[in-house]
């Protein structure tokens, strides 16, 4: 599972209580969250919240411009992957 590969404690599942491993690369250092990214992602999955570029930038400690660049790159990569998959389906 992807989570166990990323967790500094090698947990096999998302913890029920907040994670306090502040030295972990996945720790979100933002006032109202201060938790593991994976715990936050799990909470957002159960209780969806829309976040804008500004909120994401605050969570990640990055500039809005950097977040927009990451987003644009992810969209481009996603589109390339979709196109590759469509081409593979046509070849069959």
- Could you read off the pLDDT of 45-83 as tens digits, one per residue? 777 888 899 988 887 778 999 999 999 999 999 999 999
Cβ(14)–Cβ(3) below 8 Å: yes
Polymer length in residues for the chain: 92
Considering 14-18, 59-63, 68-72, 85-89, the range whose residues carry the highest mean pLDDT is 68-72
pTM: 0.56
């Amino acid at each position: 599972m992807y989570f166990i590969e990323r967790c500094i404690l090698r947990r096999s599942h998302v913890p029920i209580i907040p994670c306090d491993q502040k030295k972990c690369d996945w720790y979100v250092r933002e006032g109202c969250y201060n938790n593991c990214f994976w715990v936050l992602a799990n909470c957002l999955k159960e209780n969806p919240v829309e976040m804008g570029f500004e909120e994401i930038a605050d969570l990640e400690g990055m500039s809005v411009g950097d977040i927009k660049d990451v987003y644009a790159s992810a969209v481009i990569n996603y589109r390339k992957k979709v196109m590759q998959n469509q081409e593979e389906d046509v070849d069959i």
